[in-house]
Chain A
Amino acid sequence: MADHQPNTSPAASLSGLTKRFPGFQLGPLDLVLEPGTVLALVGPNGAGKTTTLNCMAGLVVPNEGVTEVFGAPVHPTQTEYRRDIGYVGEENGFFQGWTAARNLKFLADLLPGWSNDRANSYIKRFALPLDKPVNKLSRGNKTKLSLVAAMAHGPRLLLLDEPTAGLDPVVRSEVLDVLWEITEDGEHAVLYSTHVLSDISRLADELAFLRDGKMVLRTGRDELSESWRRVSFRLANDDVELTGVVEHRRVRAEHQVITREAEATLQQLTDLGAEAVEVSRMTVDEIAVQILKEGHHVARAES
Chain B
Amino acid sequence: MWHALKAELAYFRPWLLGGLGIATGVVLLLSVLMRFSTDEDGPPAFLVAIFPIIAGMVVSFIAGSYRIEERRARLLLSGALTPRKLAWVTVLLPACFVGLSVLAVPPILGAAALLAGKFEFSLSPTAGTFALQFWAYAQLGPLAQESSAARRQHRGRAGLLGWAVFAGVILVLAGCQFFLRSTQGHMWQVMAIVAAIGVAATLYQGRTDFTR
Q: Which residues of A contact B (CB under 8 A)?
A: 54, 58-61, 76-77, 79, 82, 85, 87, 89, 91-98, 106-107, 109-112, 149-150
Are A107 and B209 in touch, CB under 8 angstroms?
Answer: no
CB distance from B120 to the nearest CB of A (A): 41
Partner of A60, one of B7, B72, B78, B211: B211
The smallest C-beta distance from A88 to any residue of chain B, in angstroms, reads 10
CA distance A112 to B71 in the complex (A): 21
Contacts of A111 in B (CB 8 A): 78-80
Which B residues between 59 and 76 are near A, CB-CB below 8 angstroms?
70-76
Chain A interface, >50% SS class:
loop
Given contacts A59-B209, A59-B211, A61-B209, contact A93 B71 (CB under 8 A): yes
A79 lies within 8 A of B209 (CB): no
Given contacts A60-B209, A87-B74, A95-B72, 19 further A-B contacts (CB under 8 A): A59-B73, A61-B209, A76-B83, A77-B82, A77-B83, A77-B84, A82-B79, A82-B80, A85-B78, A91-B71, A92-B71, A93-B76, A94-B75, A95-B7, A106-B7, A107-B75, A109-B3, A110-B4, A110-B79
A112: nearest chain-B partner, CB-CB: B80
Considering only residues 67-106 of chain B, those with a C-beta below 8 Å from chain A are 70-84
- CB atoms of A59 and B74 under 8 A apart: yes
Nearest residue in A to B3 (C-beta to C-beta)?
A109
B81 touches A110 (CB 8 A): yes
Taking a contact as CB atoms closer than 8 A, the residue among A61, A93, A96, A150 that contacts B73 in the complex is A93
The verdict on A61 contacting B208 (CB below 8 Å), with A93-B72, A110-B4 known, is yes
Q: Is B210 an interface residue (CB 8 A)?
A: yes
| Interface residues on chain B, size class | 20 to 34
CA distance A76 to B75 in the complex (A): 13
Q: How far apart are the CA atoms of A196 and B74 in the complex, in Å?
A: 24
Q: What residues of chain A lie closer than 8 Å to B11, measured between beta carbons?
A: 95, 97-98
How many inter-chain residue pairs (CB < 8 Å) link A and B?
Answer: 80
Selected A-B contacts with CB under 8 Å, 21 pairs:
A58-B77, A59-B209, A59-B210, A61-B209, A76-B77, A76-B83, A77-B83, A82-B80, A85-B78, A87-B78, A89-B74, A92-B78, A94-B70, A94-B75, A95-B7, A95-B70, A95-B75, A107-B79, A110-B79, A110-B80, A150-B78
In the bound assembly, the distance between CA atoms of A292 and B32 in angstroms comes to: 72
| Least Cβ–Cβ distance between A230 and chain B, in angstroms | 41
Complex CA distance for A19 and B72, rounded to whole angstroms? 23
Q: How far is the CA of A57 from the CA of B129 in the complex (A)?
A: 45
Residues of chain B with a CB closer than 8 A to A110's CB: 3-4, 76, 78-81
Task: Give chain A residues whose Cβ lies under 8 Å from the Cβ of B7.
Answer: 95, 106
Chain B hits for A54, CB < 8 A: 209, 211
Closest to B209 in A: A60
List residues of chain A with CB within 8 A of the CB of B80: 79, 82, 110-112
- Chain B: CB-nearest residue to A110: B79
Asked whether, in the complex, the Cβ of B82 is within 8 Å of the Cβ of A79, the reply is: yes
Flag if B74 contacts A92 (CB, 8 Å). yes
Shortest Cβ distance from A54 into B: residue: B211
CB-CB under 8 A for A91 and B74, given A60-B210, A61-B208, A110-B3: yes
Separation in Å of the A39 CB from the closest CB of chain B?
21
A97 to B79: give the CA distance in the assembly, Å: 20
Nearest residue, chain B, Cβ from A89:
B74
